[in-house]
Each structure stands twice: as structure tokens, then as C-alpha cells.
């Protein structure tokens, strides 16, 4: 840990509970990972001690076209000077809804909000209002946000917060059918991640038969299908991620990169969910602000007009192939799961992640920020040379791991994974 | 309604459920109120048909130092080019927590989020985690956000969403004591608005005896006191609004104007709530972004270093006195309630607001945007001349109402208020 980062942590420990909170707290990362960053540009981050990293987290998703993208930020700043948070929305809101709906196959309408959790909460409420029913089917372990009804940590929640929820296993048709049967005549919606991107375990692409069955079950039971595309949206397709499975949801949730990191999220829906969506009361002080909408319009233009998607897939495949080759050469069982542009890396026989932590720290030391247990994200600002740089770092890091593997200490803070 | 606004509404009706949603939907305003705004500067708004308004809504609160405030927006834009949403927070987060905590008497720590609802949800969760109890006491009709647990409209919610809540009447000590008694040994927190600022009814300042009793009851029962300062924070005091009553809460929630409209909200707390706050999992994609924090730092600097507060109070008092004089001269019972800088106007004998709608529409026609049933907000960009302009408009509007009062049609959409 650098001295500046250490000093900031000491100050933070006084004025922020636990020193940091939420998904950007580094408590479950190797000790040498910086908590704070001083600067970001394109595909790179600088920590407060001046060290530069090629960043494979992309702000946990928001960075799709490069940090401080000049075109997108210019659109934001331009609208800021015209009108951002006002007493009513700007015309940009209508324009963004039209453009976004025009790009997403299943969508007839859009509502904008700030957090991914806002969008998933609204999807749940809209489905309940539309159907007059309560029960939601969700996959065990899937992350749909951090409100009391969905937060993965029980502290401060009550059992009523998660009432009217039934769980299935992702990609397991029988468990999905059993969950739907359990919901009986009260099924309001089936929630689905576009692929399994839970932390700590291998990712899994959606089985098209599972997606199709979810659609059928919703249709048979008069329920709504929700695809939570907050994390993966626009990195899998220029449409809803499940368009790749041929299945259209009734509701989809969006956030993260839809304005390349400017704060805006969205619920999109079909006419089958419009009445429910119109009935709910959901709002926020900054939801109607124009600047993030202007940035969203510019981001969506780049989505339509550039080869960003082909680029991140191609760079992701180059990275995946190169890593597989280097891991095999070094003799490690190194599992790369999920889409190449949103990879997750896990080592075989690594129950408390001691290998993953050692390798990730070695990567960090070589200027490449990878995550040892969360899926990562590629962005369109990355280059072939960046991937070569990462692969060189990986080769050296596998070497470090080879030398140290025999004597690695247990990672006590990850011991919960063993249980 | 102007032709541009009408055209935008028609487009919006196709791609936004109900044409608009949330607190900025104009469905419950007079028909001539614009839904969309093209531009904002200082204390003024322009609709999409080019009409200019002196804006007494201030974006429903966020505008405290003037729309497009040059110093605050420059701080935002500067940080945007350095690093906004990154893979970790910037040092600005620590700086903002230190500065904010240093200004708010009861606070030892801060957590930042995006919506006011995020902050109130976190306050509830932190209180439950801290105390190991579930029950929250709230005042009937008080607005604490739009999540399933607090949204004022039941569509899409379940009875479990509002479980573990007991209601009292604001400023009614007996009802507060009864609610606390009902909570028994499960009282986690008492929530309080800084003053009663419910829609449709007269506002009421807090009875200091009520505030003191809430504090005592929390202390006696080992529960936490939460002041929801999202709407009123920094407009009542340079400290928590209840500092005016001499009562310090354990938790306070903030949003709206803490970065003058840039998207950020906050939960502040004392050490008595630190452990609970550290235990909960609450997060959002954009919560750690630096630009809104930089804007917050600049806003708080202006709070400390300018007479903005004395200015909005003095302008509010000038407005109040002038309106009272003109209303009396015209013979109307015109009730102005709440703090002068956050006024609410209601006419006597006006159960479906037909007088309020007529007068407000006349004000709008004269270039003054007032709200017929929601509290309003003054901002420091307003001038004595602006208030004179508003008073001239008011005099003329009372004249319009005098001429039309006998023949006003019922306002059918507000008929629910009669029931």
C-alpha cells in the first residue's frame, strides 16, 4: 500500500464507517490494492501514489468508451450549462427515451433513474402493479442491487424485506419450474441475470433453453419476464443481452455504462408492462436532470455508430487465448469464465483464493488491475498493445506464483469461501 | 400549454409510461403548467416555448445557489476531467466527509449515495443493524422517499414492505409516546422530518417540546433518532435543521441541494450509530464518483462563507409580508405556512384547490412559477427585485382571482382532497 493511500485510509477510517462501504471497499481485496484513485483516462487509472494501472474493472462497468471520453463528457458539460436538475425534465428526456427504446427490441417505453437498484426495484413494483400479484422468482446468489429487498448482506434487514420471493438455480430448468410452481397463482415476475455473473464462482452464459422456458412460464402464468441488464447491458449486444438467446423480456433494467459513467439508470419495458409502470410511484431528486441524459444520448450514438462491441469482444478473446496459453505453460488450472469482454478468473484448487490473490497482486505490481473474484470489464479505449502489456504482466505473474505457490499463507479474510 | 410543450408531451406519452412519472409529472398541476424546461440560469427557468419564469420551486430543492452556479459547476467539471466514476473513490470523498462532518454538530461520520431515498433507506437499515431491532416510528403523511418501504402510493407494493412501522402524528407528543409504547422493546428508531412539510396541508414548524421528547424516548429505549433533512437541509441552518430546536439526532439524511443540484445525497451519523452503519451493505454504481463530491465541497464552502442563509430568509420574509398585505387587501384568506424560505401557500375555503389553481396560473402567466400544493424553495440567486416582481405578479393575480372567484369550475383531478 502506498503512503498516500495509507494516509487517506487513516483519514477515512475516522469519518466513514468501516473506512469505506459498498462494492468499492477494498476490504476483500489483497492488502496492496489501492483504496483510492487520483485520476482516470481512457483505459487507465492512477492511484494516489502516482502508480498507473491498465484497469480491467472499468469502474465496475460504467467505463465502456474510456474514462473522460471527450465526446460524451462534452455532451454532459454542454447540457450542464443549459439545464441539468430543473423544476421539470428537459426535452433530452424524451429524446433519450425515443432513442433507447428504438435500439432495444422488446422495449416500447423507458423510465430513467439513478441507481441500478432503482431500476430493479421499479421492475419489481411495475410487475406487481401490472399483475396484481406479489411473488418474484429469482436465481439464488444473483445480485439485483442493494436495497433491503435484494441486498446480499442481511445486516439491517428484516425477514419481511425478502417476503414474496422464491429462489431457483440459474440455468436449471427444473428448479425454475419448481419455483414457479411454488409461486402458484401469485407469480408476478421471473427475474433473470443476462448470464450468471455472481461473485466468487465461475460465470455461466445463459442456456437458451432456460431463457426460452422462463419466457414460456411467464406467458403461461400471465407473469412478466425481467432481464436485469444493469451490469452487462451494451457489453453483450446493442440490444438487450438476452437478444442473443432469442428471448425477449417484458422489462429490462439498465445502468452502469449507458452514459459511460455519468449517473443514470433505466427501466425499459414493453406495452405488456406499461400500465403497471405508470401506476407505481418512483422518483428521485436528480432523476430528471438533463446532463446525464445528454451523455446517454452521446453514448448510445457511439454504441450505434462504432465497432466498440466487436472491439471489446476481439480484445477479450485475445486476452483469453493469451492467458490460457500462459497459464497452461506455467502448469496452472486457470479458469476463465463468462463472456470474453466480461471475464472472471479463478484458479483451480484455490478455496481461499491464496493463488488468486498472489497472482492478482503480481499483476497489480506490474501495472494491471485485475479482480480476484468479481467479473471484470473491457472497454473500447483498450488497444491491442494494452492486451499485450497485460499478457506480459500475466506471464511474469504466473512466474511469481510458480515460485511462491508452495508457501502461500492462507487468506484469512476469504476463509468464509471454504465453508 | 405552449405548442412546443404540447408536442413534447405527445412524444413522451408514447415512450414514457403515463407520459411522465414521479414528483416532476405535472398531472396534478394546472393544465397550463409546462411539463418541460429548456434552460435554467440563476433563479430563472425557460420553458420550451421560450417563456421565462422566476422559479420558486428551485428544482424541488436542489437549486440553492442558483442554477448553473459558475463556481460549483466549475468544480464539477474540473473533477470530471480528473476522475469521476472510477474503480475506487477519489480523495474528494474523504475530504467531503471531513468537511461535512465538521459542519454538522451531531455527526461523526458520513456515507454518500445518490437519492434521498438511498439515505433514508440506509438510515433505517443502520438503525436496525445498530440496535438489533426492527420497529421504526414515523409520522403519518411524512414523505421519506419512494422505495417500496416508504413510497406514498401503494401500487406495486406489498403489506410486508411497510411491516415493522408504527405511525404517530407530527408535533403530537401523546401520539409519539403511544407509537413508542406500541413498538415495545423492538424500537429501532424514530424518524422525524425537520418540520412538517407534507403536501396539500399547511406546514408546521417543529414544536421544540416534541423534538426534545423524541430525543428522550430514543435515549430511554436505546433507539436512534433520525432527522430526515433531505428536503430542508442547509435551507434552515448551516447545521442539521433540528439544531434550531436544540435537539441532536443520531442519524441525519441529506440530499437535494448539498451539491446545488449535482447528484449526491448523504447519511450522516454519530458514533452511536457507526457500528450499525458499517454493518449494512448499501452501494450504487455512481456513489463513489468524484465530480458531484467536488461540487459538494464547493457548495459547502459557499454555505460556510456566504450569507446565503440570511439572504433567503430575508427574501422569504419580504415575500411573505408582501403577499399577506396584498391578499388581505383583496380580501382572501391566504395561508402561508412553514419557514419563509420554504413557503407553502393555501387559500381558505378551497377544498379542491380551485382558487389556488386560478391564482397560481395567473402567477405563471406573469412569469412567476409557484406551486399550488407543495412547499416551495427560495434560492440565494434571487434578488430584492425578483421578490418585487413576484409581488407585482401576485397583486395582479389576486385581482384575477377576485374577478373569477365566483365562477371557478371544480378541479376534478384534485377532488380526492375533498374526501
Taking an 8 Å cut-off on Cβ atoms, the answer to whether A85 and B263 are in contact is yes
On whether any CB of chain B is under 8 Å from the CB of A408, the answer is no
* CATH number of residue A218's parent domain: 3.40.640.10
Q: Are residues B79 and B153 in the same domain?
A: yes
Residue B284 has its nearest CB partner, among A76, A89, A146, at: A146
Tens-digit pLDDT profile for residues A338-384? 999 999 999 999 999 999 999 999 999 999 999 999 999 999 999 99
Q: Are residues B229 and B142 in the same domain?
A: yes
Contacts 24+ apart (CB under 8 A), B38-42: B38/A82, B38/A83, B38/A90, B38/A91, B39/A82, B39/A83, B40/A82, B40/A83, B40/A84, B40/A86, B40/B67, B40/B68, B41/B66, B41/B67, B41/B68, B42/B66, B42/B67, B42/B68, B42/B381
d(CA B66, CA B366): 21
Averaged pLDDT for residues A111-139: 98
On whether any CB of chain A is under 8 Å from the CB of B325, the answer is no
Taking an 8 Å cut-off on Cβ atoms, the answer to whether A285 and B265 are in contact is yes
Q: Are residues A260 and A320 in the same domain?
A: no
Is the pLDDT at B244 greater than 90? The verdict is: yes
Tens-digit pLDDT profile for residues B159-169? 999 999 999 99
Is the pLDDT at A285 greater than 80? The verdict is: yes
- In the stretch 34-63 of chain A, residues with CB closer than 8 A to chain B read 34-40, 45, 48, 55, 57-63
Taking an 8 Å cut-off on Cβ atoms, the answer to whether A155 and B125 are in contact is yes
Gap from A300 CA to chain B (nearest CA, Å) = 17
Q: Are residues A228 and A179 in the same domain?
A: yes
In the prediction, which pLDDT does B62 show?
A: 98
Q: Are residues A351 and A412 in the same domain?
A: yes
Dihedral over Cα of B27, B31, B35, B40: its sign: negative
Q: What is the ipTM of this complex?
A: 0.98
On whether any CB of chain A is under 8 Å from the CB of B405, the answer is no
Is the pLDDT at A1 greater than 90? The verdict is: no
Centre a 10 Å sphere on the Cβ of residue A247 and count the other Cβ atoms it contains: 21
Taking an 8 Å cut-off on Cβ atoms, the answer to whether B147 and A121 are in contact is yes
On whether any CB of chain A is under 8 Å from the CB of B24, the answer is yes
Tens-digit pLDDT profile for residues A55-110? 999 999 999 999 999 999 999 999 999 999 999 999 999 999 999 999 999 999 99
In the prediction, which pLDDT does A102 show?
A: 98
Q: Are residues A58 and A118 in the same domain?
A: no
Is the pLDDT at A326 greater than 90? The verdict is: yes
Q: What percent of chain B has pLDDT over 70?
A: 100
In the prediction, which pLDDT does B223 show?
A: 98
Most B CBs within 10 A among A4, A8, A14, A15, hence the mutation to make, goes to A15
Tens-digit pLDDT profile for residues B366-401? 999 999 999 999 999 999 999 999 999 999 999 999
Task: Show the domain range for B121.
Answer: 70-305
How far, CA to CA in Å, does B328 sit from each of A185, B122, B370, B401? 60, 46, 19, 13
Q: Are residues B251 and B145 in the same domain?
A: yes
Most A CBs within 10 A among B16, B102, B228, hence the mutation to make, goes to B16
Residues in chain A with CB shorter than 8 Å from the CB of B3 are: none
Q: Final residue of a domain: which of A305, A325, A355?
A: A305
Residue B163 has its nearest CB partner, among A110, A117, A158, at: A158
- In the stretch 178-217 of chain A, residues with CB closer than 8 A to chain B read none
Gap from B329 CA to chain A (nearest CA, Å) = 31
Q: Are residues B216 and B110 in the same domain?
A: yes
On whether any CB of chain A is under 8 Å from the CB of B156, the answer is yes
On whether any CB of chain A is under 8 Å from the CB of B73, the answer is yes
Q: Are residues B297 and B364 in the same domain?
A: no
Residues in chain B with CB shorter than 8 Å from the CB of A20 are: 89
Q: Do B272 and B251 touch, CB atoms closer than 8 A?
A: no
Q: Final residue of a domain: which of B254, B281, B305?
A: B305
CA B145 to chain centre: 10
**SS3 labels along chain A:** CCHHHHHHHHHHHHHCHHHCCHHHCCCCCCCCCCCCEEEEEECEEEECCCCEEEECCHHHCCCCCCECCHHHHHHHHHHHHHCCCCCCCCHHHHHHHHHHHHHCCCCCEEEEECCHHHHHHHHHHHHHHHHCCCEEEEECCCCCCCCCCCCCCCCCCCHHHHCCEEEECCCCHHHHHHHHHHHHHHEEEEEECCCECCCCCCCECCCHHHHHHHHHHHHHHCCEEEEECCCCCCCCCCCCHHHHHCCCCCEEEECCCCCCCCCCEEEEECHHHHHHHHHCCCCCCCCCCHHHHHHHHHHHHHHHHCCHHHHHHHHHHHHHHHHHHHHHHHCCCEEEECCCCCCEEEECCCCCCHHHHHHHHHHHHCCEECCCCCCCCCCCCCCHHHHHHHHHHHHHHHHHHHHHHHHCCCCHHHHHHHC
On whether any CB of chain A is under 8 Å from the CB of B32, the answer is no
In the prediction, which pLDDT does B137 show?
A: 98
Taking an 8 Å cut-off on Cβ atoms, the answer to whether A15 and B101 are in contact is yes
In the prediction, which pLDDT does A190 show?
A: 98
Tens-digit pLDDT profile for residues A263-278? 999 999 999 999 999 9
**pLDDT classification of B241: cutoffs 50, 70, 90:** very high
Strands B251-254 and B265-269, by their bridges, are antiparallel
Residue A111 has its nearest CB partner, among B21, B149, B286, at: B21
Residues in chain B with CB shorter than 8 Å from the CB of A296 are: none
Q: Are residues A194 and A94 in the same domain?
A: yes
Number of domains chain B is built from: 2
Is the pLDDT at B86 greater than 80? The verdict is: yes
Is the pLDDT at A260 greater than 80? The verdict is: yes
Task: Give the chain A residue nearest B70 (alpha carbons).
Answer: A81
Taking an 8 Å cut-off on Cβ atoms, the answer to whether B281 and A125 are in contact is no
In the prediction, which pLDDT does B418 show?
A: 85
On whether any CB of chain A is under 8 Å from the CB of B7, the answer is no
Mean pLDDT (chain B) is 97
Gap from A324 CA to chain B (nearest CA, Å) = 26
Is the pLDDT at B419 greater than 80? The verdict is: no
Is the pLDDT at B97 greater than 80? The verdict is: yes
Averaged pLDDT for residues B323-336: 98
Tens-digit pLDDT profile for residues A177-204? 999 999 999 999 999 999 999 999 999 9
In the prediction, which pLDDT does B390 show?
A: 98
In the prediction, which pLDDT does A94 show?
A: 98
Averaged pLDDT for residues B69-96: 98
Q: Are residues B153 and B44 in the same domain?
A: no
Residues in chain B with CB shorter than 8 Å from the CB of A251 are: none
* CATH number of residue A315's parent domain: 3.90.1150.10
Is the pLDDT at B23 greater than 90? The verdict is: yes
Is the pLDDT at A419 greater than 90? The verdict is: no
**pLDDT classification of B194: cutoffs 50, 70, 90:** very high
Q: What percent of chain A has pLDDT over 90?
A: 99
In the prediction, which pLDDT does A112 show?
A: 98
Of B412, B291, B388, B64, the C-alpha closest to A295 is: B291
Residue B287 has its nearest CB partner, among A22, A126, A128, at: A22
Residues in chain B with CB shorter than 8 Å from the CB of A279 are: 153, 155-156
On whether any CB of chain B is under 8 Å from the CB of A288, the answer is yes
**pLDDT classification of A54: cutoffs 50, 70, 90:** very high
Is the pLDDT at A228 greater than 90? The verdict is: yes
Residues in chain B with CB shorter than 8 Å from the CB of A163 are: 158, 160, 163
Q: Final residue of a domain: which of A305, A332, A349?
A: A305
On whether any CB of chain A is under 8 Å from the CB of B115, the answer is yes
- In the stretch 125-154 of chain A, residues with CB closer than 8 A to chain B read 125-129, 134, 146-149, 151-153
Taking an 8 Å cut-off on Cβ atoms, the answer to whether B255 and A118 are in contact is no
Taking an 8 Å cut-off on Cβ atoms, the answer to whether B158 and A134 are in contact is yes
Q: Are residues B105 and B200 in the same domain?
A: yes
Of B139, B137, B212, B215, the C-alpha closest to B181 is: B137
On whether any CB of chain B is under 8 Å from the CB of A87, the answer is yes
C-alpha cell at B132: 438489533
CB pairs under 8 A between A and B: 363
In the prediction, which pLDDT does A166 show?
A: 98
Residue B281 has its nearest CB partner, among A15, A116, A146, at: A146
Amino acid at each position: 500500500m502506498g503512503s498516500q493511500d495509507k494516509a487517506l485510509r487513516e483519514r477515512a477510517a475516522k469519518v466513514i464507517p468501516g473506512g469505506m462501504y459498498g462494492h468499492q471497499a477494498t476490504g476483500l481485496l489483497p492488502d496492496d490494492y489501492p483504496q483510492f484513485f487520483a485520476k482516470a483516462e481512457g483505459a487507465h487509472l492512477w492511484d494516489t501514489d502516482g502508480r498507473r494501472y491498465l484497469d480491467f474493472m472499468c469502474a465496475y462497468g460504467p467505463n465502456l468508451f474510456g474514462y473522460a471520453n471527450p465526446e460524451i463528457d462534452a455532451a454532459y458539460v454542454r447540457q450542464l450549462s443549459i439545464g441539468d436538475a430543473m423544476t421539470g425534465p428537459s426535452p433530452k428526456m424524451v429524446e433519450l427515451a425515443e432513442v433507447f427504446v428504438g435500439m432495444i427490441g422488446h422495449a416500447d417505453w423507458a423510465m430513467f433513474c439513478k441507481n441500478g437498484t432503482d431500476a430493479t426495484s421499479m421492475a419489481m413494483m411495475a410487475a406487481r402493479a401490472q399483475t396484481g400479484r406479489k411473488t418474484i422468482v429469482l436465481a439464488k446468489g444473483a445480485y439485483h442491487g442493494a436495497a433491503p429487498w435484494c441486498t446480499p448482506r442481511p445486516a439491517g434487514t428484516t425477514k419481511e424485506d425478502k417476503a414474496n420471493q422464491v429462489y431457483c438455480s440459474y440455468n436449471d430448468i427444473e428448479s425454475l419450474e419448481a419455483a414457479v410452481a411454488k409461486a402458484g397463482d401469485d407469480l408476478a415476475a421471473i427475474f433473470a441475470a443476462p448470464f450468471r455473473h455472481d461473485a466468487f464462482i465461475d460465470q455461466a452464459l445463459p442456456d437458451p433453453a432456460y431463457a426460452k422456458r422462463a419466457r414460456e412460464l411467464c406467458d403461461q402464468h400471465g407473469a412478466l419476464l425481467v432481464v436485469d441488464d444493469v451490469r452487462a447491458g451494451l457489453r453483450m449486444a446493442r440490444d438487450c443481452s438476452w437478444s442473443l438467446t432469442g428471448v425477449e423480456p417484458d422489462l429490462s433494467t439498465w445502468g452502469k455504462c449507458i452514459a459511460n459513467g455519468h449517473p443514470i439508470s433505466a427501466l425499459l419495458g414493453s406495452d405488456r408492462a406499461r400500465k403497471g409502470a405508470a401506476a407505481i410511484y418512483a422518483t428521485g431528486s436528480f432523476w430528471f436532470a438533463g446532463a446525464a441524459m445528454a451523455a446517454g444520448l452521446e453514448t448510445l450514438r457511439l454504441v450505434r455508430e462504432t465497432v466498440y462491441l466487436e472491439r471489446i469482444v476481439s480484445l477479450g478473446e485475445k486476452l483469453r487465448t493469451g492467458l490460457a496459453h500462459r497459464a497452461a505453460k506455467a502448469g496452472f488450472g486457470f479458469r476463465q469464465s463468462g463472456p470474453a469482454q466480461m471475464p472472471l478468473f479463478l484458479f483451480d484448487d484455490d478455496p481461499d483464493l491464496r493463488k488468486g490473490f498472489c497472482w492478482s497482486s503480481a499483476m497489480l505490481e506490474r501495472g494491471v488491475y485485475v479482480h480476484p473474484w468479481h467479473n471484470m470489464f473491457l472497454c473500447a479505449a483498450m488497444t491491442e498493445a494494452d492486451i499485450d502489456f497485460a499478457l506480459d504482466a500475466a506471464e511474469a505473474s504466473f512466474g511469481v506464483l510458480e515460485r511462491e505457490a508452495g508457501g502461500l499463507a492462507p487468506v484469512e479474510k476469504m476463509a468464509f469461501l471454504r465453508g
